[in-house]
């Protein structure tokens, strides 16, 4: 199992319609790409960093992760939405120790 | 639900006995503090950051999280082990969006 997470902040005002639309569209677009399990849209609530949201998803193995990464719906979402609407982010991926 | 995560790198050599001991002792010490659910010891595997490990745990609510935070076993672990053996870290906490 690989858990892929990304913590991020948007360029949109907090609480804006654009913010809601981004989170909703990400879930709609990405959650049912083949291989994606346990897709979660999360609020980042620690005051010890300045990110606002997170996505978390799990893949059975690296092959499933790679399939997601190059899936046209993911590639297009990164190009058309992520790169334009996200201000800063950090990707963190986990496997059981 | 609050998911508390911390991603980190140790001062110990990778693959060392000290590294193994730290991960084992953290799990032994922290996982059964009251309120802690789903405690996980994780390897960080993305090449897009330079952290090596992670812990993840869940709490039912902020009260349970606060109880963990001030529990003597957690306080002692931070002082005696974490502050001495961890080189760098980032705390990220999530709630469902």
Residues of B in contact with A97 (CB under 8 A): 23, 41-43, 53
Distance CA B70, CA B60 (A): 16
Sign of the Cα pseudo-torsion (A31, A37, A43, A44, in order): negative
Percent of chain B scoring above 90 in pLDDT: 100
- In this prediction, residue A88 carries a pLDDT of 98
For B11-37, the DSSP string reads SSPTT-HHHHHHHHHHHHHHTTSTT-E
- In this prediction, residue A37 carries a pLDDT of 98
Judge residue B28's burial from the number of C-beta atoms within 10 Å of its C-beta, 0-12 exposed, 13-18 middle, 19 or more buried.
exposed
CB contact under 8 A, B92 and A54: yes
Average pLDDT of chain B to the nearest whole number: 98
CB contact under 8 A, A92 and B43: no
Task: Give me the residue from A2, A46, A53 closest to B45, CB to CB.
Answer: A2
Q: Determine how many CB atoms are found less than 10 A away from the CB of residue A92.
A: 23
- In this prediction, residue B58 carries a pLDDT of 98
Q: List chain A pLDDT tens, one digit each, 97 residues.
A: 999 999 999 999 999 999 999 999 999 999 999 999 999 999 999 999 999 999 999 999 999 999 999 999 999 999 999 999 999 999 999 999 9
- In this prediction, residue B69 carries a pLDDT of 98
ipTM: 0.96
Percent of chain B scoring above 70 in pLDDT: 100
Q: Which residues of B touch A (CB under 8 A)?
A: 2-4, 7, 23, 40-46, 48-49, 51, 53-54, 56, 90-97
pLDDT digits (tens, 9 = 90+) for B78-91: 999 999 999 999 99
With CA atoms as reference, the chain B residue closest to A40 would be B96
Coil, helix or strand at residue B43: strand
Structure-token match 């508390």, residue found? B4
Sign of the Cα pseudo-torsion (A91, A95, A97, B6, in order): positive
Average pLDDT of the residues in B31-48: 98
CB contact under 8 A, A42 and B91: no
CB contact under 8 A, A49 and B90: yes
Query: How many angstroms away from the CA of B84 is the closest CA of chain A?
Result: 20
Query: How many angstroms away from the CA of A69 is the closest CA of chain B?
Result: 13
């Amino acid at each position: 199992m690989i858990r892929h997470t990304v913590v991020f902040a948007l360029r949109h005002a907090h609480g804006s319609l654009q913010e809601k639309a981004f989170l909703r569209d990400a879930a709609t677009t990405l959650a049912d790409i083949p291989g994606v399990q346990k897709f979660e849209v999360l609020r980042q609530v620690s005051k010890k960093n300045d990110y606002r949201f997170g996505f978390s998803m799990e893949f059975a193995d690296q092959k499933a992760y790679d399939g997601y990464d190059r899936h046209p719906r993911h590639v297009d979402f990164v190009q058309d939405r992520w790169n334009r609407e996200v201000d800063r982010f950090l990707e963190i991926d986990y496997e059981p120790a």
